[in-house]
Structure 1
């Protein structure tokens, strides 16, 4: 009887340890952007102009970018994995500032985003989208994921997320989270931009990896002011027949 009891305790410990291991690590995402799809949604373009774009570029409108999420069950940090350089033709550039910190334990968020010619620091309580979990599943990066949908009412975008409930962290890429598991794929407007996990690596994460810099340069605003800036810029750009998403995140 004692042997059976000890075996049961060991099994419980193994399961607990396995779950704990899945609560911290890093995820490498690939973000695929189709700019002709974005252009085709601009209301000021004629159908002829939209058709010409598709005919000219076809499937050669794809831009790819790697992103990295480091996380544990209390915090996460999402940004570029490194400074990207383009050597072909002698050109090079650095990415615009984009850092996203989440403090799940204290319900706080901090985003550092370069947009509209400035750098903004958005500080607020954690904002949870109004997700609707759907009765669909698919595999992403070796994990069975459930589908959830919401809407970005400021940008007029349909958002589809695929989350893994066996990675028990309510995080994800591109400022999104709030689901009962890690988001491993995020689809904006049925394929305009798709951010997909390519590698999930569980490992111990240090406090330094998740810590915000002590000094951050930028104008501090809250979520309401950020949304107002987005809404005004999109409205004014469309009115002036300019693509608003050249200077703000899509």
Structure 2
């Protein structure tokens, strides 16, 4: 029995060491009808506008990638085109999320409301509550964790794999004892789920652009700006998530 336990421990150790560098491929799905139904402050005109835009197609898929090694990560858009594009290439807004866990720093390049912002700060603590639920994501048994986005008033559920000993994740989420392979925002309004993990040597994939143009903000200033924008749109009875990421 002791030999079996030792063998299992060794296998986990080998699997973990083999997954210290590579690429995670995610599918990000936005369910617009569900989002619109949750935004009770929208005017009748705004609801009709949203219904016209999305019609019977409830979901919108985007493909994201997370480059990682044992020291840092970078999350951004994949070059893969959504099936919904039908040959038309929608312009993607800048969205780059960089984490350096060795230096305990973050640099995010986010385009929204017609401008590009560079959020530079130290890494704060995200207040996760780890639950007992389990599920399989991309072939990994994952544990459930929950937190709240107090600015956007969103409930976020994460599924993290303890057999991949890295505290990184998609979007702006991190800080769990295992890689985050799936996120659920507001009961499935937006889902982000890993489809596959490539173990490969990275070269320049983790690098940021040498010249970054945009307005520099701290995390606190960024959150204040978001809060102000959302409150303005609520007052106008319009959907703020046309112009900012949900």
Q: TM-score range by the shorter chain?
A: 0.7 to 0.9
Shift of 1:27: 0.6
C-alpha RMSD over aligned residues: 2.8
Deviates more, 1:17-26 or 1:190-199: 17-26
SS of equivalent residue, structure 1 residue 128: coil
CA distance in 1, matches of 2:125, 2:66: 18
Shift of 1:235: 0.3
CA distance in 2, matches of 1:195, 1:96: 18
Normalised TM-score (structure 1) = 0.86
Alignment equivalent of 1:164, drawn from 139, 161, 164: 161
Number of aligned residue pairs: 238
In our comparison, the structure showing a higher alpha carbon Rg is: 1
Question: Does the Cα contact within 8 Å between 1:83 and 1:95 map onto a contact in 2?
Answer: no
Normalised TM-score (structure 2) = 0.87
Look up the match of 1:70. 67
CA distance in 1, matches of 2:8, 2:125: 35
The 1:87/1:81 distance shift into structure 2, 3 A limit, reads closer
Which runs of 5 or more residues in structure 1 are unaligned?
Answer: 1-9
Look up the match of 2:206. 210
SS of equivalent residue, structure 1 residue 233: helix
The 1:13/1:197 distance shift into structure 2, 3 A limit, reads closer
CA distance in 1, matches of 2:138, 2:37: 30
Given the alignment of the two structures, is residue 61 of structure 1 paired with residue 58 of structure 2, yes or no?
yes
The 1:115/1:50 distance shift into structure 2, 3 A limit, reads closer
Shift of 1:146: 0.1
